[in-house]
Each structure stands twice: as structure tokens, then as C-alpha cells.
Amino acid sequence: MDEMIPKPLISNDNEMMHGHGYTTMVHGNDEILNGNELAVHAEAIPSASTRGQKRKSAIWEHFTLVDVSDGCKRASCIHCNQSLAYSSGSKNSGTSHLTRHIAEWCRVLKDRQKSRRYTTYNSSNENASFDQERSCLRLAKMIILNDYPLHIVQQPAFLSFVDSVQPNFKMVDIGTIETEVYAIYLKEKDHLQQALANIPGRISLTVRSLATNQSIRYISLAAQFIDSEWRLHRRVLKVMMAPWPQSENAVGRAIIKCLSDWNMQDKLFTITLEHDCSSHDIYSANLRNHLSGDNILMLKGQTFAVSCYANILNAVAHGVLASVHNVIYLIRESIKFIKADDAHENKFAEIAVELKITSNNSLCLDVTSEWNTTYLMLLAALDYRQVFTLLESYYDNYGTAPSTEDWKKVEAACGFLKLLYAFTLNIMSAEGNHQTANMFFHDAWVLQLELQNGMAHGDDVIRGIVIGIHEKFDKYWEDCNVVLAIAVAMDPRFKMKMVEFAYSKIYGPTDAAKYVKVVDDAILDLYKEYAAQPELLPLSPIYVDQVPADGLPFIETGGAPATASPSTAAAGAGLVDFDMYLSEVTTMGQPFKHELELYLEEALTQRTPDFDVLKWWQENTRKYPTLSRMARDVLAIPMSTVGVGSSVFLPENGSRSLDDYRSSLRPELVEALLCAKDWLQYSP
């Protein structure tokens, strides 16, 4: 009978047992079945034996052999008592199926193992004992960050899940979770207030409207600023209910309330609005009077208000689509016909193969509220225009194929939409501290030029499309081109050279000079406003000294001198009179040059893909102390109200909406949820 005892597949110590598609590692009484990642911890039980001989395989710690008849034996599981075949006379079945039973099938052992793992986890985490308050806080943060409804704490499925994870957690009610949300909101607000109090520059505001399913709207205000490390930030400051735009002065009241709550009456730089600046009341006497006397408005308020660039792109795009709405209807109906029946779709593909038409664009229906999907639908349809026409000859019930004239209109419309689509993607691709104000000028002037040329185009179709949209963008360009130009002038890769080039293209060489002068004067006036703030950084007149070896002019100011080595300081101690003499001689020999002049005269910085304009100003702050303060505030102007990570492809009205659930909540709770979600994303 000893020959009938199978040779052990596994030794008692750290050896391998191979079964069908999985491996078993044995470490003493701990057996890990890698095939299905089930860990089996065998209990101390008597090993099975046959005629006094111990079997060495670890699997026999879970089975006993039972004689059946005629030398046949069966293996009985000691956990669930299930009997499995083992040997029939001189032939045995091996132990692979026994291993599989323990690893996969034995429910009693699995339940026992699950209980043991839970006990082991608790015993190994005695020092990290369960904390009801901490768990409740994390639950509130989860609800805020994931936009879950507060009544999730009452949902049976969620309650069951929490109980399975941590039975000791006592689920809180809605009132308690509301209290936690408010506590998080107040704590994060306090942190943000401390941070804002220490920023070296000023803040610019964005104003957005949030629609609801009721007759009210919310106004959301966010601050954009650059911190002491030259990193760009945007944080929501206030969300308040207002019957806007029906109510007069609603925006002004919201801004006043926000500035008061955050104690920023003397830090406001610009305000960026969703729509045309002239349609709002931010120039109201109430708002101006509320601002601190120390708050210097940019260029005396001439460019205090900025329109949202992303919204004007959306408005122009929807205008383009409106000019071909009849053709869009035909294309939508055609795609519906093709997609409604497999036979139609197969025939469409068959015709495309016969005509040798290949396209990388997928033919699919659009989302009517997102113009980018409509553009992609039209782009794909253009590739298959011949197929649509031929398809009519196969089906009598298909009659919505666009005509040749219709396709011409679509082609012209797609030419403008391609430009708008690329410019919109530029906004979305500018992440983090790269969405600075300098990045918007180039796309804006190119679009202005394209629309201007379209107005004078000889093609009636193109001119017909442009007539409806040129007025919208021309108004934006008139209101905001100076702010855009000042911002790009603060980019050392372009400075005023880009402005001069763009204006020569738009206005012609003769008229460009007067528009360039407007920007020149605006930049100089703004610089003078910063230079006239001695309480921020005392400065004396700046002059050009001897040119050092690197070829760059050295700027001296009346501020604190750079730290020198002891030997240098000693050598310079007896040269004070000589330095004063040089100053007098240099001053008499040439006119004063302020930082702005020196910056604009300096050669342009090389354009590289990884160039970071904020890093450049950080590295040149000592060289241009006054101009860098001005650049900090200018580059932080939010040219778009759409934040990083948000979709720029908005409905025609440019508004975003609260969902039905949040629309039903109290206004103060809506504010706590929306603000806290924004702030928690940046918390450690």
C-alpha cells in the first residue's frame, strides 16, 4: 500500500505545489493560492494518515481519507464534509482537484477565513482605532468633492456598503452632514483668507451666472492672482443667489458683497464678465464708491471690465451654425436615416467603397448644445457628400440629402469653425499657471483679421456667413484689444513687436501707428501708476550704467544693494565719492531710462515650447522691480471666466446650470458646497 501513497507534491517548508493553472505557496500553516489570490490559513488539525504513515502534502491538513470499497478511497473535507474522489484500486486521482476545492469551492473555509482576516486587521490596527468623528468628516468631504446628494446617508445600498466596511460607524443624518459641510467650508475659507492676505499683488475677479430650473440664478465670483512664488491661482470666493439679469445692479451688489466679505476693497484690479461689458452695471456709482481710495483702477477704470474670450468664441461659433441651420437639419436627418437600419448603414458603406472615399472622421449625430460636436458632424458629412447624394437613388423614403449649394455653405462654415475650434482648444490645453493673459492676443487678432477679410470677400456665401458674426467679435475687439495688447507686451518673446505686427495686418501700415500709440500710452500710464506707489517698493530714478560683459544694461535703483562678499564691501567702502561722481557724470551725459523703456528695448527672448512667462518674470524681478509688479497683475487678468478643467464648448447663452438637486437647496448651502469643492481640490 505504500506504493499507492502519492509522492508529496509539496514539502512542509516554502516549496511549490503545482495544480491546474495555479501555484500554491506554503509557509508553515499559511497557504497562499496564487491562482485566485485566496489565502488559506490552516488550523491546527490532525494530519491524515494511512496505516500510521503521515502524508507530507499540506493539502492533507484539510482532508481525511475514507475507505469506501474494494480499495477505493475518497477524500473528505474536514471543513464542509464534502466527499471527493481520490483513488480507485491502484489508480489515484491526484490532489489538484482537492486543492481547487479548498481554494475555490469550500464555502465554510472561505467564511472562516474572511472572519479571521477581519480579526487580524483589527488586531494589527489597535493603535489606529476607529474614529467616528474623523470618518464623518471624510464622508462630508466625499460628498462635497463628488457632488453626491446629502441624502446619500439615507440610501439603503450606501448604508449596506458602509456597514460591510466598518460596522462600528454610526451613520449620521442629513442635519449632521450639513453641519459638517458648513464646518469644512468655514475652515477652508479661513485658510484661503490667510493666503489672500499675503499675496504680493492684486486680484482680478471673474463673474459667472449659474442657471437653475427655477426663475432664479446664482452669481459665482472667483479671484485670480499670482502668488509670491509666481504661480497662478483661481479660487471661487462667493456664490450668491440673485434674480439676474432681471434685477438692476445685481452684479454690482454681488461684487460689493464679495469684496467686503474678503476685505479686498483695495486689491481689485479688473473684473471679467461672461458677456458684453456694456450690458452690466459694474460701472455703477455704488461699486466705484465702495472701492477703497487706495485701490487704483487700471488706467483709471478705462479697462476695468473685460469680456470673456471663451464666451465670445462660443457666440461666434453659434452664429456660424445659425447661418447654415437649414443644411444642418438635412444632415442630421440623413444621419438618423442611415443609423436607423443596418441595411441603410451597409449600403452607405458600400457606396463609399465604390467611390473610393476614405475618411478618418466618424459619421455620428451631434449634441445640439455643444457646437464642437456639430462642427465634427459637418466635417465628417463633407467627406461623404457624394454618398449622401447617391443614397437617394436606392431608397424612395430618403429625401434629405443636401444639395450642391448646401454643401458649399457647409464647406464655408467649416472654414470658420475650424479656426474657432483650434482657438478654443488652445484655451482648454492651457493648464495650471499657463493660462496667463498674454496667451490670448495672437488668436484674437487672427480671428479679427479673418472676419474682416470675410466681410470684403467676393464670395456671397462667405460674406453671408461673416455678416452675422463680425459685429459680435468686432465689439469684443473694440472693448478688449488694448488689455490683450498690454498683456502680450508683458511677454518677453513678443513685447510691442507683436502688437505692431498685428495692427499693421488689421489696420494697414498707415493707420496702424495711431492704434499702436494707444497701447504704448496705456502701458506707460499704467507703469507710472505702479512707479508712483512708494509704499510698496521705494524706488529712485533708474539709469543705464556701464554695459557689463554679458551685453545687458545694468539697472541701478535706490533700493537696498545686493549682498556683497566682505572683501568686495571693504574695497568699495572707499569708493562712495567716486560712485557719486560717476552718477552725476552719467546722469548729465544721457537721459534717464525707466524699467519699461529698458525692457522694451532689450532683445526678444527666444521662443521655445517649454517657455514659462511667469518663471521668466520671477527670475528677472530684481532687474525690473517695478515692472515685475505690474506684470504680475497684468498676467493674472482672467481673459476667460471658464476655469481650467471646465468645458469651453458652452450653449449659445454661455450659461452653466445647477442640477435639479442643488437648485432645490438653500442658497447658503449651495455656496458652502460649491466653494468647499473648489477649495478642497487644492488642500494638502
pLDDT at 294: 59
Task: State which residues form the domain around 630.
Answer: 437-534+611-640
215 found inside a domain: yes
Strands 217-226 and 83-88: unpaired
pLDDT at residue number 647:
66
Position 248 scores a pLDDT of: 57
Can you say how many angstroms the Cα of residue 540 is from the centroid of all Cα atoms in its chain?
43
pLDDT of residue 228: 93
Question: Do residues 230 and 632 touch, judged by C-beta distance below 8 A?
Answer: yes
Mean pLDDT of 379-396: 94
| 366: nearest Cα among 390, 333, 342, 399 | 333
User: Which of 429, 451, 483 is where one domain is finished?
Assistant: 429
Question: Is 172 among the domain residues?
Answer: no
Query: Using the 8-state DSSP alphabet, how is residue 607 labeled?
Result: P
Per-residue confidence at 257, pLDDT binned at 50, 70, 90? confident
- 271 and 198 in a single domain? The answer is yes
Mean pLDDT, to the nearest integer, of 66-73? 79
Asked whether residue 235 carries a pLDDT value surpassing 60, the answer given is yes
Model confidence pLDDT, tens digit, residues 163-207: 999 999 999 999 999 999 999 999 999 999 999 999 999 999 999
Let me know if residue 76 belongs to a domain.
yes
| DSSP helix/strand/coil, 238 | strand
For 95-99, 422-426, 472-476, 493-497, which range has the lowest pLDDT when averaged over its residues?
A: 95-99
Query: What pLDDT, on a 0 to 100 scale, did the predictor assign at position 92?
Result: 75
Q: How many CB atoms neighbour CB 496 within 10 A?
A: 17
Same domain membership, residue 622 and residue 492: yes
Asked if residue 267 belongs to a domain, the reply is yes
Q: Based on the domain organization, do 474 and 377 belong to the same domain?
A: no
Q: How confident is the model at residue 643 (pLDDT cuts 50, 70, 90)?
A: low
At 426, is the pLDDT very low, low, confident or very high (cuts 50, 70, 90)? confident
Interstrand relation of 217-226 and 203-211 (parallel, antiparallel or unpaired): antiparallel
218 phi, psi to nearest 5 deg: -110, 150
pLDDT (mean) for 329-336: 96
- pLDDT recorded at residue 630: 95
Q: What is the mean pLDDT of residues 241-249?
A: 64
Q: Give the angle subtended at the CA of 274 by the CAs of 272 and 280, to the nearest 5°.
A: 80
423 grid coordinates: 482657438
User: Who contacts 40 (Cβ-Cβ below 8 Å, separation ≥6)?
Assistant: 30, 31, 32, 33, 62, 102, 103, 109, 113
Nearest alpha-carbon partner for 6 in 57, 69, 75, 70? 57
Does 574 fall in a domain?
Answer: no
Domains: count for the chain:
4
| Cα-Cα-Cα-Cα dihedral sign, residues 361, 366, 367, 373 | positive
- Cell numbers placing 650: 458652452
Q: Which residue has better confidence, 426 or 630? A: 630
Mark which of 383, 411, 429 sits at the end of a domain.
429
- pLDDT at residue 5 above 70? no
Q: Which of 272-286, 386-400, 534-548, 603-617 has the lowest mean pLDDT?
A: 534-548
CA atoms in the 13 A half-sphere facing the CB of 84: 23
Over residues 78-89, the pLDDT tens digits come to 888 888 888 766
User: Which stretch of DSSP H or E encloses residue 520?
Assistant: helix 495-531
Whether 242 and 248 have beta carbons less than 8 Å apart is answered as no
Count of other CB atoms within 10 angstroms of residue 628: 24
H-helix segments, 85-173: 96-100, 107-124, 132-145, 156-165
More confident residue, 491 or 564: 491
Asked which of 73, 89, 109 is the last residue of a domain, the reply is 109
Same domain, 499 and 617: yes
Residue 585: CB atoms within 10 Å: 10
Same structural domain for residues 517 and 617? yes
Q: Is residue 91 part of a domain?
A: yes
- What grid cell was written down for 159? 448604508
Residues 319 and 384 in one domain: yes
Torsion angles phi and psi, residue 413, rounded to 5: -65, -40
What's the half-sphere exposure (Cβ side, CA atoms, 13 Å) at 436? 27
Q: Which residues contact 252 (CB under 8 A, 6 or more apart)?
A: 281, 282, 284, 286, 287
Per the model's pLDDT, the better-predicted residue between 58 and 611 turns out to be: 611
- Distance, CA of 500 to CA of 600 (rounded, Å): 13
* Residue written as grid cell 477652508: 188
Distances (CA, A) of 73 to 59, 92, 96, 106, 257: 16, 9, 16, 20, 87
User: Which of the four pLDDT bands, split at 50, 70 and 90, describes residue 286?
Assistant: low
Predicted pLDDT at 146: 94
Determine the Cα–Cα distance for residues 549 and 397; give it in Å rounded to an integer.
82
Which of 167-171, 251-255, 647-651 is predicted with the least confidence, judged by mean pLDDT? Answer: 647-651
Q: Residue 310 and residue 429: Cα distance in Å, rounded?
A: 13
> 100 and 237: one domain?
no
pLDDT number for residue 556? 42
Residue 563 has a pLDDT of 42
Classify 324 as helix, strand or coil.
coil
Q: Closest Cα partner for 169 from 128, 126, 132, 123? A: 132
First-to-last CA distance in the chain?
69
Asked whether the whole model's pTM tops 0.85, one would answer no
336 Cβ partners below 8 Å, 6+ apart?
A: 365
196 and 186 in a common domain: yes
- The label of the residue with cell 560712485 reads 579
pLDDT at 421: 94
Instruction: Provide the pLDDT for residue 443.
Output: 95
C-alpha cell at 357: 472615399
Asked if the model's pLDDT at residue 132 lies above 70, the reply is yes
Helices 371-383 and 309-323: crossing angle, nearest 10°?
40
Radius of gyration of the CA atoms of the chain, in A:
37
- Taking only the tens place, the pLDDT of each residue in 527-548 is 998 998 764 443 333 434 333 3
pLDDT given for residue 413 in this prediction = 96
Within 102-249, residue ranges assigned H as helices are: 107-124, 132-145, 156-165, 174-197
Question: Does residue 330 share a domain with residue 316?
Answer: yes
pLDDT at 304: 82
323 and 425 co-located in one domain: yes
The pLDDT-based confidence of 442 (bands split at 50, 70, 90) is: very high
99: confidence class by pLDDT, cuts 50, 70, 90: confident
Please check whether residues 457 and 520 belong to one and the same domain: yes
- Is 139:177 a contact under the CB 8 Å cutoff? yes
Tell me how far apart the alpha carbons of residues 683 and 137 are, in angstroms, rounded to a whole number. 15
Q: C-alpha distances in angstroms, 678 versus 17, 184, 256, 504, 602?
A: 54, 12, 21, 43, 41
Percent above pLDDT 90 for the chain: 51
Name 91's bridge partners.
88
**Per-chain mean pLDDT for the chain:** 80
pLDDT at 504 over 80: yes
For residue range 290-315, list pLDDT tens digits in order: 665 656 666 777 778 889 999 999 99
Is 525 part of any domain?
A: yes
What secondary structure letter does DSSP report for 643? P
Task: Indicate if 376 and 390 belong to the same structural domain.
Answer: yes
- Is 512 a domain residue? yes
Comparing 111 with 575, the larger pLDDT belongs to 111
